[in-house]
Structure 1
Amino acid sequence: MRPVFPTKTFVNHFSIATGLYPGNHGVLANAVYDTEMGLLKYSYDLFHYNESTIPIWTANEMAGKTSGCWWPGSDYEYNGVSCMFTRSFNGSVPFEERVDTVIKWVTHEKTPANLVMMYFEEPDQTSHPYGPDSIQVTNAVASVDRVTQYIEETLMANNLQNRVNVIFLSDHGMVGVPISNIIDLTLFLATDICKMYGTSPVLQIVPNDPSDESEIFTNLTRAAEQNGHFNVYNQYDLPARWNANNARRMGPILAVAEVGYAFQDLLIDFKIYEKNLNVPITNQSIYGVHGYDNEEPLMNAFFMAKGPIFGKDEQIETIDMIDLYNLFCLILKIECYSNDGSNNSSIWNALFVP
């Protein structure tokens, strides 16, 4: 499955939920600099750049049905409507306990949820400090395997296996970046001339004085040509296929590292991993990074589905993440609100039981 750019967590989770490209829904990073509102981290404002955005859980509620979400952005109202059941992210809650919670939503006596969305932070969380090819990530994948089995067993225990359709998704891929591939942009810019927002491999660069924008862009472009492992864009020349053009939340200058490279902001994370996780920093250190060009194969996500409407052993070609919104609407039998995904249901016909 092809994610959207940047291949970051909140960006893709909100595109899954809305069927919109990031340039339209406005969640262009896990934290963005908004030219009107300043730095936005996880908040109502981050997810409400476009007030006409209707996430799938809101569309479901507006159709008179019940949504239950443990999903980035779902703990806020949209169009004045909230999920019937919500939980904010809390990494200390065991995966099995999360499953038990949402099953209670589905089996609720008065308002059973017909749509549930859940987020599990593994193996992403372990990949960042240890690298995607580490034994620690192999173990994290095994833990996700176990919770997948637990979901199936819990559905069977509640006689739901023939009534519930389950879709398993990832939001992006992951690449190992050696410490030797860190590019320090501060070597090319005076530290008092601009601020950098976001995280590798995509940094949003905002001049302290707008009159310095041209000089900063020229210096970084020259540095990119010399280094050969990153590119620099202004807000008007982003590749159109990214569908990320949003001057308010992506401009004015964007630095994007080549796959396998990252910027100096990761050095801060390395020190945190060393202090909190006892992961030593050495010349052989490799860390997990995502966010690269969504056309890069290593950024691909996956899509798996099982349930009464899905055929067995069926396969489809590469799909785009923004098309999922329309799939959800088909399954839920609700109206699809305006989105950027394909409304051609034939994309999914190969999956469905005739």
Structure 2
Amino acid sequence: MNNFIMKLLVIVVCLFLNFKNILMVSPFPKLLIVSYDAFRFDYFNRNLTPFMKQLKEEGTDVDYMINAFVTRTLPNHHTMATGFYIENHGVLENRMFYENGTVLEKSADVFHYNNKILPIWTINEKNDSLRHSGSMMWPGGEFDFDGRTQTFYMPLNISKNWEDRFDVLLSWFLHPKTPINLGILYIEEPDYHAHAYGTDHPVINELLKKLDNFTYYIHTQLKDNNLTSVNVIHLSDHGMTEVNLSRIINISQIIDLSECQFLPTANTIFIIPHPGKEDILYNKLKSAANETSTFYVYRKEEIPERFHYGNNTRMTPIFVVAKSGYAFEFLRDSFEYYQKNFNITIDDKSLFGIHGYDNEDKNMHPMFFAKGPAFNAHCKLEPFHNVDLYPLFCNILNIQCPETNGTLNSFKKCLKSFTDDDQNNSHSMLVPVLVALAVVGTISMLIGLYLRMKRQREEVLYRRILDDAKMEQLWDEHQDLENMWH
């Protein structure tokens, strides 16, 4: 009898401890979104990322994801966050023109072309006052939407190491007063170094190994902190391809740049012709494009419909984009930065990483894989567009979301909410309900003691995580984005 009582006490204590852990986190479905900038879909083929490969095999994955044009960081992150094509949400580039010709960059206005379009972190919190979101350096995550900022956010700061960033985000999941049920994390690699080294340099291979180790760290920390109920989605915004100096297009030798306002990147140019100059500039560019087959030139109304890019008041009368593997002369503007920050010598053999090309180019395609209680194991998806991610986020979070350009159909075969029948769902719920009823009396007796201990324990845990990360908690302070998104 004594042995039976001891076993019963052990069971009750275990149930009580699990009950405490449940109370410490959000009661809502939980989602963590992790973005590795410019992680091309085929980097897994290098066999440098064994842990990510294991996650892909154990969970839900796809050979590649189709991103939005233009295949750049800010536009695609906002497409993933809102479910809208770029021409609809208006983040055409990192730098854009207002309709009056002034330049728009590094401000909340970049993300507020249409104030009715709200990101997933805002929609999550609008669904219930007890739902909370946290953004760790995600592009646009620090700005107001619909008159509110998300509960926690930290703007881009690449001097903070990855583990520290995640530790702070983890503390948000465990926050004693406002635990998040949605966390989003942005990591600037391998994009940051690939711009200077190209895609195949040993430096990039070492970064892939480091990202694999970091992915292991994320999942280990979630497990160690009893957060295995968190659904984790790993994704990227775009891929990358290489360009050498012999493939630079000198656009200033084709047109007179003093006849227009222009905003260039390494492979795109937005052009506002001066009065009376539009036809002259367009015809010169069109002739050179046909002759060299190195770039495309479009009037605004000629931009291919499949890009979902031109129907926007921020689009200029003329838009130029290089063909994959080519770059405009403005790439040279980055050389001094590369030499100074990466201690490299630039010569004829140098290779540079560039993205922003046609989203049908496979080198532009990013990766995606996911694991968690919402996903079926060992499930392979067909390639899908990244506008479809938003409905997926909404489904996992179990929230009401507005209609967007995306659809959930791409994911149904791999989501348990669509593949588990009602009987299985009812049976799976029956056991925990019966167990809960059986122990509720015992827990009621212990709850008074627990409530006295709870606040002190949570505060210690929360502060320990922040102290270990050596990072200051920020959630009310706006900061400018660093100019590092290419």
Give the TM-score taking structure 1 as reference length: 0.96
Aligned to 2:286: 221
Structure 2 letter corresponding to 1:252: P
**Residue type at the aligned position of 1:84:** T
| Contact 2:127-2:399 within 8 A present in 1 as well | yes
Q: CA distance change for structure 1 residues 247 and 160 in 2, over 3 Å: closer, same or farther?
A: closer
Shift of 1:311: 1.5
SS in 2 for 1:119: strand
User: What one-letter code is carried by the residue in structure 1 that aligns with 2:105?
Assistant: K
- Map of 1:93 onto structure 2: 160
Q: Secondary structure at the match of 1:142?
A: helix
1:347 paired residue number = 410
- Alignment partner of 1:230 is 2:295: yes
Deviations 1:283-331 (A, max 9, x none): 1111000000011111111110011121111101101100000000000
SS for the counterpart of 1:117 is: strand
Residues 145-190 of structure 1, C-alpha deviation per residue, up to 9 Å, x if partnerless?
Answer: 11101101110110112x1000000100100111110101000112
Paired residue secondary structure (1:192):
helix
Tell me what 1:114 maps to.
Answer: 181
Structure 2, gaps ≥5 residues long: 1-64, 421-486
Instruction: Tell which deviates more after alignment, 269-278 or 146-155.
Output: 269-278
The residue that corresponds to 1:143 in the other structure is 210
1:82 counterpart residue number: 149
How far apart in 1 are the matches of 2:281 and 2:159?
42
Partner of 1:20: 84
Instruction: Pick the aligned partner of 2:100 from 17, 27, 36.
Output: 36
Q: Which amino acid aligns with 2:295?
A: F
Once the two structures are superposed, residues 50-82 of structure 1 have per-residue CA deviations (whole angstroms, 9 ceiling, x without a partner) of 111111001001012111012111111111121
Cα distance in 1 for partners of 2:390, 2:215 equals 23
1:317 and 2:361 matched: no
Could you tell which deviates more after superposition, 270-279 or 295-304?
A: 270-279
Aligned partners of 2:235 and 2:366 also within 8 Å? yes
SS for the counterpart of 2:134 is strand
Change (3 A) 1:61 1:298: same
How far did 1:247 drift?
4.6
Query: 1:203 corresponds to which residue?
Result: 269
3-state SS, counterpart of residue 319 of structure 1: coil
CA 1:313–1:247 in 2, change beyond 3 Å: closer, same or farther?
A: closer
> Which of residues 169, 174, 180 is equivalent to 1:102?
169
**Offset at 1:37?**
6.2
Alpha-carbon distance, 1:277 to partner: 1.9
Rounded to whole Å, the distance in 2 between the matches of 1:107 and 1:338 is 31
1:284 aligns with 2:341: no
Write the letter of the residue equivalent to 2:247: N
The structural deviation recorded for 1:252 is 1.2
Q: Which residue of 2 aligns with 1:248?
A: 313
Deviation at 1:275, TM superposition (A): 2.9
1:233-255 per-residue CA deviation (whole Å, 9 max, x = no partner) reads 01000000000013522211111
**Amino acid paired to 1:22:** I
Report the AA paired with residue 410 of structure 2: I
Greater gyration radius: 2
1:25-57 deviations in Å (ceiling 9; x for gaps): 000011111223621112111000111111100
In 1: Cα distance, 2:271 partner to 2:101 partner: 16
The 2-side partners of 1:102 and 1:45 are apart by: 26
Q: Distance in 1 between matches of 2:257 and 2:327?
A: 19
**Aligned-partner residue type, residue 257 of structure 1:** A
For 1:37-186, list aligned pairs within 5 A: 38-64=102-128, 65-70=131-136, 71-161=138-228, 163-186=229-252
d(CA) in 2 for partners of 1:137 and 1:278? 15
1:177-231 deviations in whole A, cap 9, x for unaligned?
A: 1111010100011231123214122211122x23211111111111111221101
Amino acid in the other structure paired with 1:246: N
Cα distance, 1:127 vs structure 2: 0.4
Counterparts in 2 of 1:151 and 1:69: CA distance versus 1, 3 Å? same
Equivalent AA in structure 1 for residue 347 of structure 2: T
SS in structure 1 at match of 2:336: helix
Q: Which runs of 5+ in 1 are unaligned?
A: none
Q: Determine if contact 1:15/1:322 at 8 Å carries over to the other structure.
A: yes
- Alpha-carbon contact 2:115-2:146 (below 8 Å) kept: yes
Counterpart CA distance in 2 for 1:312 and 1:319 is 19
Aligned residue type for 1:177: V
| Aligned AA (1:106) | F
Residue 104 of structure 1 and its aligned partner are, at CA, apart by 0.5
Contact kept? 2:382, 2:410, Cα under 8 Å: no
Which letter maps to 1:349? K
Distance 1:49 1:39 in 2: 14
Superposed displacement of residue 272, structure 1: 1.9
Partner of 2:323: 258
- TM-score normalized by the length of structure 2: 0.71
Give me the whole-angstrom Cα distance separating, in 1, the residues matched to 2:311 and 2:381. 32
Q: Which amino acid aligns with 1:10?
A: L
CA contact (8 A) 1:29 1:198 kept: no
Q: What is the distance in 2 between the residues matched to 1:206 and 1:139? A: 42
Residues 1:147 and 1:50: Cα distance change in structure 2 (over 3 Å): same
Contact 1:74 1:86 in 2 (8 A): yes
